Structure 1
Amino acid sequence: MHARAPSRPVGTVTRGTTSPNRLRRMDRWIAAVHGAALRGAPSPPVAVDLGYGAAPWTARELLTRLRTVRADTRVYGVEIEPERVAAARACAREGLCFVRGGFEIPLPDGAGRPLLIRAANVLRQYGESEVAAAWGRLCARLAPGGLLVEGTCDEIGRRHVWVALGPEGPRTVTFAARLGSLGAPSDLAERLPKALIHRNVPGEPVYAFLRDFDRAWAELAPYGALSARQRWVRAVRRLSADWPVTDRESRWRQGEVTVRWSAVAPGGGFGSS
């Protein structure tokens, strides 16, 4: 069953570029930190891949990864460009549907509200002033206990930064990288989400965070002789003395670190307190 196509989907068409496994780091994190909510859902949980682009790979991969946590998860790929939706529907299968729409998330009647909305590389083309409204609209569509994950990555998913939001607003920011190709943590600055990318300047919290991370990384360079992973883990451990790191070493070893949104948020705006 397909949703009724809205006359005016909310949003603009993205470039649509994607590639297989581009969002693997984000998906892996979602399955780990949101798995309990998925498993505890009273009915089959619904997830949305918003703005999946010119090919349906990311929606198919999201279904596969979430079903390792909850086997009856359903995924809806939501895309504003009608030709992309028509092409993707040839790849639909049990638990995976594609609908035309935007930030209004027009799911079929009876589908329920999504427990997860993933919006990767969607807001990059918008103005910073437009982010709060987009976040607010998407969060309003979440089911109780739901999660919005919004962020940006490079073309093959080696570097990725995302914000996790609940119905109440933003909670955390996660920085993730393929450590073998990382020169310094600040290399991730070019992948900051739209809400932060223009704030990577002196005087802004996110700039201070990346500066301190680079310092810890440099001071712990000798551990690079063991592995980039050992160096990253020790740098994050040192960073956590001054910054509210919310995850544990099991996630750091994946090339991740998550901090509270309030620590790096720009002053003013949605959820910055």
Structure 2
Amino acid sequence: MPAGRSPVGRVTRGTTGANRLRRIDRWIARHPALRRAADPLVVDLGYGASGVTALELHARLARSRPDVEVLGLEIAPERVDRARAQLEDVRHGLTAFAPDARVSFARGGFEVPTPGGRHPAIVRAMNVLRQYDEHAVADAWREMSSRLAPGGLLVEGTCDELGRIATWAAVSCGGEPMTLTVSLRLAGLERPSIAAERLPKALIHRNVPGEPVHAFLTALDEEWLRAAAVSPFGPVHRWRTAMEALVAGGWPLRARSRWPLGEVTIGWESVAPLG
């Protein structure tokens, strides 16, 4: 970051949890924006009180892209210091992470500073916009995505503390939202609409009658309940049955191959806020 320039954004609560972002990480690992990137730099923006999520991100992405690099960015200097101390333990073989993991930590916010002005293939910004007003989201998206490489991706969303409920928006390098993904732990799931409390900030206040995202979550619940008849075959079979019914009902779902993981992805135009 240039001397004298302050990071853009606010300090998050920092409620980092090991393995919390596994659903998002595995989705990113399969995405063409990473697999086809000329420079596989991935930014973990707002990683929180511990650098563990950046280390986990690298470990998961390296399975599909061995040359991936992960840069963790945080606004609070003490969090950067703490993460760098953790990284020293990694380098000395004192953790389960690879000592030579291509991970680094620096201070930064929505301006996404990178060494040498490199343009990331992916910026992952989970649980960083929850404290913002809805009207601030578009500007934050534009600022973060403006740093992306052509064809790059901003992944912005929210998850619960255990990572069993997660939603995220995929935003283009031009700052335009493209898809919404809902990812749930299917075992013991009562209603998919439990995801409503973890929607991205752009949608969380729009879960009211008359808004498209409310209609989508309502349809998810209805088909999940109807699919209860096949629940003896397991929750994955029940989820697939519900997703097939949604498609038959006209919902343009994407990424069918991800359904067994408890995921559903839909084009942003189907859930975008009205007005």
Q: Could you tell me the TM-score, scaled by structure 2's length?
A: 0.91
Say if 2:58 and 2:103, in contact at 8 Å, map to a contact too.
Answer: yes
Q: How far apart are the structure 1 equivalents of 2:74 and 2:247? A: 39
Say if 2:33 and 2:153, in contact at 8 Å, map to a contact too.
Answer: no
Q: How far apart are the structure 1 equivalents of 2:101 and 2:55? A: 11
* Superposition pairs of residues 1-273 of structure 1, within 5 angstroms: 3-4=1-2, 7-32=5-30, 34=31, 36-42=32-38, 44-92=39-87, 94-109=101-116, 112-168=118-174, 169-241=176-248, 242-248=250-256, 250-268=257-275
Q: How far apart are the structure 2 equivalents of 1:6 and 1:140? A: 22
Deviation at 1:91, TM superposition (A): 3.1
Q: How far apart are the structure 1 equivalents of 2:73 and 2:177? A: 22
**Compared CA separation, residues 132 and 245, structure 1 to 2 (3 A):** same
Q: How far apart are the structure 1 equivalents of 2:73 and 2:27? A: 21
Deviates more, 1:186-195 or 1:88-97: 88-97
Deviation at 1:4, TM superposition (A): 4.9
Query: Alignment partner of 1:220: what SS?
Result: helix
Letter in 2 for 1:143: A
Letter in 1 for 2:252: P
Query: Alignment partner of 2:163: what SS?
Result: coil
Q: How far apart are the structure 2 equivalents of 1:86 and 1:211? A: 45
Q: How far apart are the structure 2 equivalents of 1:128 and 1:41? A: 31
Say if 2:186 and 2:235, in contact at 8 Å, map to a contact too.
Answer: yes
Say if 1:191 and 1:197, in contact at 8 Å, map to a contact too.
Answer: yes
Q: How far apart are the structure 1 equivalents of 2:3 and 2:17? A: 26
Letter in 2 for 1:246: R
Q: How far apart are the structure 1 equivalents of 2:261 and 2:41? A: 26
Q: How far apart are the structure 2 equivalents of 1:145 and 1:91? A: 32
Query: Alignment partner of 2:115: what SS?
Result: coil
Letter in 2 for 1:162: W
Letter in 1 for 2:21: L
Query: Alignment partner of 2:113: what SS?
Result: coil
Deviation at 1:167, TM superposition (A): 1.5
**Number of the residue aligned with 1:271:** none
Q: Could you tell me the TM-score, scaled by structure 1's length?
A: 0.92
Unaligned residue ranges in structure 1 (runs of 5+): 269-273
Measured against aligned partners, the alpha-carbon deviations of 1:211-246 in whole angstroms (never above 9, x if no partner) come to 111111111111112111111111011112221101
Say if 2:33 and 2:122, in contact at 8 Å, map to a contact too.
Answer: no
Deviation at 1:7, TM superposition (A): 2.6
Query: Alignment partner of 1:207: what SS?
Result: helix
Q: How far apart are the structure 2 equivalents of 1:132 and 1:62? A: 25
Q: How far apart are the structure 1 equivalents of 2:15 and 2:216? A: 30
Say if 1:5 and 1:100, in contact at 8 Å, map to a contact too.
Answer: no
**Compared CA separation, residues 86 and 4, structure 1 to 2 (3 A):** farther
**Compared CA separation, residues 130 and 71, structure 1 to 2 (3 A):** same
Number of paired residues? 261
Q: How far apart are the structure 1 equivalents of 2:137 and 2:223? A: 31
Q: How far apart are the structure 1 equivalents of 2:6 and 2:155? A: 24
What is the aligned-residue RMSD (CA, Å)? 1.3
